[in-house]
Amino acid sequence: MSKILNLATPLPVAEKVEDLMDIVTDTFSAQFRFIQSNGEDTMNLVTSGLTAIPPYVFILIIAVLAFFATGKKFGLAIFSIIGLLFILNQGLWDQLMNTFTLVLFSSLIAIVIGIPLGILMSKSKVIEEILKPILDFMQTMPGFVYLIPAVAFFGIGVVPGVFASVIFALPPTVRFTNLGIRQVPTHLIEAADSYGSTFTQKLVKVELPLSRSTIMAGINQTVLLSLSMVVIASMIGAPGLGREVLSALQRAQIGNGFVAGISLVIFAIIVDRLTQSLNKQKSNGGK
Amino acid sequence: MGKIKIDRVTKVFGKNTSQALKLVKQEKSKEQILKETNATVGVYEASLTIEEGEIFVIMGLSGSGKSTLIRLLNRLIQPTSGDIYIDDQNITKLNKKSLQLVRREKMSMVFQNFALFPQRTILQNAEYGLEIRGVPKEERRLKAEKALQNAGLLSYKDQYPDQLSGGMQQRVGLARALANDTEIILMDEAFSALDPLIRKEMQDELLELQANLQKTIVFITHDLNEALRIGDRIAIMKDGKVMQVGTGEEILTNPSNEYVRSFLEDVDRSKVLTAENAMIRPMTIQIDHEGPKVALQRMREDKVSVLLAVDKARKYLGYITANDALELAQSGEKSLHSILRNDMPIVEPSIVIQDILSVISDSPTPVAVVEEGKLRGVLIRGVVLESLASEKNGGVDNE
C-alpha cells in the first residue's frame, strides 16, 4: 500500500531543476551581472544611435538598400517607404528602433554561435547525434519557457530578451549549416582532399562557398524567429513594438494592438525580403 | 623499384573486417560475404608495381574495386591492411600533415565527373592545387594559365565550369592536375563520362601529353578498348582482386584465367571493332587550295600513293592517285579537280568491321570513313586485318 502511494508521489523533477538553476545562478552570478550591464549598455547605445538618425534618412537608406538588394526593382523599396512612414506616423518609431536592435543582436549572436556549431555537426556524426535532439528540444519547447531562466540569470530588461531569443532562434542556422555542408557533392570534397587541402582550406574554399545559399536560408529563418520572440520577450521587460502589443493586450485596446501588430508585420516583411534577396544575389554572383 | 608499389593491400568497408577477411580466404563471393558479415570487400590483397613514366591502366567492371584502389593510393580511402609505397615512402603510415604534403607534391587527381568547383572560374580551378600549396599569386596564375593554354582553353579562363561542355570541363580537370606539376597523375574514369568522339580525342591528347611530359599516370577505366589504346600496361581486376597484369598484347594473347578470357570474349562479341576503332588518320589534300606539287610532296613525305580530297569544311570529295598527280604536274595544270576520282568505297564510322570486311578486301583503294559528309578517317586493309587478328587471338584462339 505504501509502495503504491510512493509511486503516486510525483518525482521531484521540478525541485531538481530549480536546484540546478539556483546553483548555476549562484556560481555565475558575477558573469551574468557583467553580461547584463554591459549588454544593456551596448544595446542602449545602438538604439540611441539608431534613433539619432532622422527617420526620413533612415527610411531612405532602407529603400535604397531594398532597391539594390532586389536587383533594381521598385516593389520592396516602395513597400518599405510606405510601411515605415506608417510606423513613423503612428508614433512607434522609437519602439521600432528598439525592436530592430533586439532582432539585430539576437540574430547576430545566434549566427555567430550557430554557424560554427553547424560546421562541427557536419564534421562529426557523434556531434550530430548529440545536437539533433537538443535542437529538436529547443524548437519544440514553447518560447515562453525560455523566459524563466532568462529572468533567473539576467533579471528583466533587454538582455534576457536577447538571451531567450537566441535560444529560440538558434536551431535553423545550426541545422541549415549542417545540411548545407553535408550536401556538398562527394566528388568535390574528394577533389579538395586529393590536392592536399587542410581542414580550414577545404572549409573556406570549398564547403562554405558551396553551402552558402543553404546557410543563408537558415539565417533568414533565424532572423524571423528572433523577430517572433519580440512580443514574448517584452513580457520580461524588453522594450520595443512587442511591449506595445503586450500593453494593448493587457488593457484590451484592440485598436492599439492592431497598429503595433501591423507594424511588426511590416518590419518582418522588410527584414525577410531583404535577407532573402541578399541570398539570391550572392548565389547568383557565385555562379 | 617502381614509382608506386602496392603491397598486399586490402580494403574492407564495414565493421566486421576480420570476419569478412576470413570469408574471402575461403573464396566466398562478395554477395555472400555481404550477407554474412555486412561488410563489403573493396580490394583484396592487391599487389602491383607501377613504373615511373608509364600509363598504367587498371581495368574492371563496376564493383571490381578499381575506384577503391586508386583512392587508396592517395588515401582518400584508408586501407584495412597492406602497404603502399610512393618513391619508397610508405604512405599508409603517414600522419595527417605528411599525407597532405604527399598529396600536394606527389600526385594530382582527375575525376570521372570532373569535380570542378562551380563557384570558381576556370582559372581559379586550374590554380587550386597551387593555391593550396601556398604558391604566390602571380606564379600560380602563370602556371595555371600555361596549363590552360596547353589545353587550348585559355580564352575561357574567366568563365565558370557550367558554361563549358563536358569535354572542355575535363580538359580543365586535366589542366588543374597538370598545373600542379606532380610526377603522378591519378585518373579515375576520367574519360568515361564523355561521348565517344570526344573520348577518343582526349585519349589522343593524353598520349601526346604523355610523350612530352613522361608522368606516371594511373588510369582507371571499364572500357577495354580505352585500356588497350592508352595503357602501357594493364591490370585487370575482378571482385577486388587483381586478375592479371601485363601489356595489352600479353593480356590479349595470353589471358591468365577463365575470367579474363571471358571478359575479352565479351568485348569481342559486344564491342567488336567498328570502323571508327580501326580507322587511322587520313592523308588528305585540300583540293580548293592545293595543287599537284603539294600533293606529290605530301605523298613522298608520308609514303602513300593515294590522298583523300576534302574541301575547306573537311567534306569528303574523292581521292587522287600519285600517277595522276605526276602527270598533272608535268602538264603544268594547277587544279586537282580534273583528276579527282570517286570510286572509293565509303562507310559510316559506327559500322562493324565484320560487316564490311569484303568491301575492304575487294577494294583496290583504302576505304573512307565519312560521317554526315565529313571525312573522319580511313581504313587501310593491313591495319584492319592486324587489329582483327589481335582481337581474335585474345578471344577465340585460346578456347
pLDDT digits (tens, 9 = 90+) for A26-49: 888 888 888 888 888 888 898 889
pLDDT, residue A286, reads: 40
* Range ranked top by mean pLDDT from A113-117, A242-246, B265-269: A113-117
Res. B382: pLDDT tops 80: no
- Give the residue numbers in A contacting B (CB under 8 Å), as ranges: 185, 187-188, 190-191, 193-198, 201, 205-206, 209-210, 286-287
Res. A94: pLDDT tops 80: yes
pLDDT, residue A283, reads: 47
Interface test with A, best of B104, B117, B181, B192 (most A CBs within 10 A): B117
Q: Which residue of B has its CA nearest to A213?
A: B119
Question: How do residues A4-24 score in pLDDT, each as one tens digit?
Answer: 556 677 888 888 888 888 888
pLDDT, residue B38, reads: 81
Percent of chain A predicted with pLDDT > 90 = 49
pLDDT, residue A129, reads: 94
pLDDT, residue B389, reads: 60
pLDDT, residue A119, reads: 95
Average pLDDT over residues B378-396: 63
pLDDT, residue B314, reads: 85
pLDDT, residue A1, reads: 52
Of B102, B103, B119, the CB nearest to A286: B119
Average pLDDT over residues B206-212: 88
- Three-state DSSP at B108 gives strand
Chain A residue numbers with beta carbons less than 8 Å from the beta carbon of B112 are 187
pLDDT, residue B1, reads: 60
Half-sphere exposure of B4 (CA within 13 A, CB side): 27
Average pLDDT over residues B195-214: 86
Chain A residue numbers with beta carbons less than 8 Å from the beta carbon of B15 are none
* Binary contact (B115, A287; C-beta < 8 A): no
Chain A residue numbers with beta carbons less than 8 Å from the beta carbon of B117 are 188, 191, 205-206, 209-210
Average pLDDT value for chain A: 88
Q: Are A286 and A249 in contact (CB under 8 A)?
A: no
Q: What is B307-370 written as a DSSP string? A: EEEE-TT-BEEEEEEHHHHHHHHHHT---SGGG-B----EE-TTSBHHHHHHHHHH-SS-EEEE
pLDDT, residue A2, reads: 56
* Binary contact (A190, B71; C-beta < 8 A): yes
Res. B126: pLDDT tops 90: yes
Average pLDDT over residues A166-194: 94
Pairing type for strands B346-347 and B367-371 reads: parallel
DSSP 8-state secondary structure symbol assigned to residue B91:
G
Least confident of A206-220, B107-121, B172-186, B354-368: B354-368
- Residue ranges of the alpha helices (H) in chain B? 17-25, 30-37, 66-73, 96-105, 122-133, 137-150, 166-179, 196-213, 224-230, 248-253, 258-270, 275-278, 292-302, 322-331, 353-362, 381-395
Average pLDDT over residues A236-259: 89
* Binary contact (B119, A188; C-beta < 8 A): no
Distance CA(A198)–CA(B88), nearest Å, equals 24
pLDDT, residue B313, reads: 83
Res. A206: pLDDT tops 70: yes
Using pLDDT thresholds of 50, 70 and 90, give the confidence band for residue B127: very high
Q: What is A234-286 written as a DSSP string? A: HTTT--SHHHHHHHHHHTT-HHHHHHHHHHHHHHHHHHHHHHHHHHHHHHHHH
The residues, ordered by sequence, that sit 6+ positions from B45 with a Cβ below 8 Å of its Cβ are B8, B9, B10, B82, B241
Distance CA(A178)–CA(B244), nearest Å, equals 45
* Binary contact (A195, B71; C-beta < 8 A): no
Distance CA(B91)–CA(B109), nearest Å, equals 16
Q: Which residue of B has its CA nearest to A184?
A: B117
Question: How do residues B233-253 score in pLDDT, each as one tens digit?
Answer: 999 998 888 989 988 878 877
Q: Which residue of B has its CA nearest to A209?
A: B119
Of B116, B119, B180, the CB nearest to A195: B180
Q: Are B399 and B386 in contact (CB under 8 A)?
A: no
Question: How do residues B141-152 score in pLDDT, each as one tens digit?
Answer: 999 999 999 888
pLDDT, residue A57, reads: 92
Q: Are B175 and B202 in contact (CB under 8 A)?
A: no
Average pLDDT over residues B279-287: 83
* Binary contact (B119, A190; C-beta < 8 A): no
Interface test with B, best of A194, A197, A204, A207 (most B CBs within 10 A): A194
Chain A residue numbers with beta carbons less than 8 Å from the beta carbon of B102 are 196
Sheet holding B346-347, edge to edge: B346-347, B367-371, B374-379
Average pLDDT over residues B322-333: 83
* Binary contact (A287, B118; C-beta < 8 A): yes
* Binary contact (B76, A195; C-beta < 8 A): no
Using pLDDT thresholds of 50, 70 and 90, give the confidence band for residue B269: very low
Average pLDDT over residues B22-45: 81
Percent of chain A predicted with pLDDT > 70 = 95
